[in-house]
Amino acid sequence: MQEATLAQPASRQAWLGLFTVLGLVALVAMDGSVLYLAMPHITSAITPTADQALWILDIYGFVVGSLLVAFGNIGDRFGRLRLVMVGACVFGAASVGAAFSESPTSLIAFRALTGLGGATLLPSGLAIVSNLFPDPKQRAQAIGIFAATFAAGFAVGPLIGGMLLQHYTWGSVFLINVPVVVLFLLLAPQLLKEVHAPTEGKIDLLSLLLSFVGILLFTYSLKTGAVLGVSTEQLAIGAAGLLGLIWFTLRQRNLEHPLLDVRLFKDRIFTIAILTGLLSLVVWSSAGYLAGVYMQSVLGFDVFSTALLTIPGALVLTATCVWTSHIVDRVGRKWALVTTHLLIAAGMGLLLLTTATHGAAFFVASTIVAGVGYGLSFSLVAEIAVSAVPPERAGAAASIAETSNEIGNALGISVLGSVAALWFRLYGPGVAGTLNETLDQTLISPETIQHANDAFLAGMHTALGIAGLLTFIVAVLAIVWLPRKMPE
């Protein structure tokens, strides 16, 4: 009887519920990339320092990534829909605040608050979607659509941002969130049902504090070291953050109900998949941000033209997400994971061919080649994470997958963006801390502009060269480490 029930197609309400959740999924993903093309405008409007500019870009991702594990567990225990509804309200209100910010500090604060709301949406949203489709095949299809939407949100974020910036001020990239949030709040109570998992003890507040503070301190140390140079204070902050993360990991091994179930990482397939989710977003975010600055500030494309050039890669990425299951059926999970990294590495290799005068064709080719790898990653990581655990732990498992994506998104800009910033600080003309600040100076000579462009390009090549090398190393690791025949 149970099998017959599971074989029944999902109801119309289930599909409508899925598309209701997808609106929020797209917003959370877009907010991770929508600023890539907007940063030159923001830099000119509110003049953040180099350090503040990096915080504007990645504080959202760090807050989301730091809290996803906790909110995945909270949603499982106290109600996923209730948590999503509260998170949507916070997300919408913070978006309005960010749109009307008049200082870098204010914008950073509202971006952090937006991340707080976004952290409630992804793990519980995926768990709600999984619960809507009891049939395994339809559930896998729904998760694929969920992953494709998340990928599409990242991909079209720069495009939508570019279109808005062509006609409106930079605050418009945040105001687009508001109508989607309002529509969700109206439809969700009618289309979605509250979902609980069995109560599993209290949330460990110390673990929450350690993960959040550890990530922020460690990455703050990396960023300040790149922008301002190494100092005793900077090294101490970094060491404190690293110790906090180590303490967090060790603590999870001894808790009866941990925030992060590190035992899942004993499975090699799960581990490589999560590493894939982390690294693919490290590369994605750093390449998106640095290439966006390169296209506008070095090659001189306007923001709308740059946005248009992202369309081929966005289409390829989204289509790959939809077709990932068919690709896996043909080549298997192992070679799908290996191919993911090889394609991303190849895409970074194409960006290394860019120069201070030519590079648009290499930019488009890179987004297409790497886009296939990104699409495979987004779909595989989500599918493996959710299928690895019982349904009642879907929120916690989904949080690990989404955490790897969000932390990867933030680390890409923070770590690799800091590598590029460090190179510019050491080898640039010394006029200002960033390329855009340098170009905004009055009475700047053509020689200084050329020097600044060359320094930025060299820093970008260094950062993206590291990214490509890392993805190639993980591809080799997957070939050697994973079994020839992986379970499907």
The model's confidence at residue 5, banded by pLDDT at 50, 70 and 90, is very low
Looking at the predicted structure, is the pLDDT value of residue 488 above 60?
Answer: no
Q: Which amino acid appears at position 447 of this protein?
A: E
> What integer best gives the mean pLDDT of the chain?
82
pLDDT cut 90: percent of the chain above it: 27
- Tens-place pLDDT, residues 220-261: 787 777 667 788 998 999 999 999 999 998 998 888 777 777
Which two structure tokens, joined as six digits, stand for 419?
């590598």
Which of the two residues, 389 and 168, has the higher pLDDT score? 168
Looking at the predicted structure, is the pLDDT value of residue 168 above 90?
Answer: no
**pLDDT computed for residue 452 by the predictor:** 94
Q: How many CB atoms lie within 10 A of CB 242?
A: 14
**pLDDT computed for residue 391 by the predictor:** 64
The arithmetic mean of pLDDT across residues 95-117, rounded, is: 92
Name the residue among 75, 68, 113, 61 with its Cα closest to residue 92: 113
Looking at the predicted structure, is the pLDDT value of residue 4 above 70?
Answer: no
- Tens-place pLDDT, residues 184-223: 899 888 888 776 655 556 778 898 888 888 877 887 787 7
Looking at the predicted structure, is the pLDDT value of residue 423 above 50?
Answer: yes
The arithmetic mean of pLDDT across residues 455-476, rounded, is: 95
Distance in angstroms (rounded) separating the CA atoms of residues 10 and 2: 15
Which of the two residues, 100 and 31, has the higher pLDDT score? 100
pTM to 2 decimal places: 0.74
The model's confidence at residue 1, banded by pLDDT at 50, 70 and 90, is very low
Looking at the predicted structure, is the pLDDT value of residue 105 above 90?
Answer: yes
The model's confidence at residue 389, banded by pLDDT at 50, 70 and 90, is low
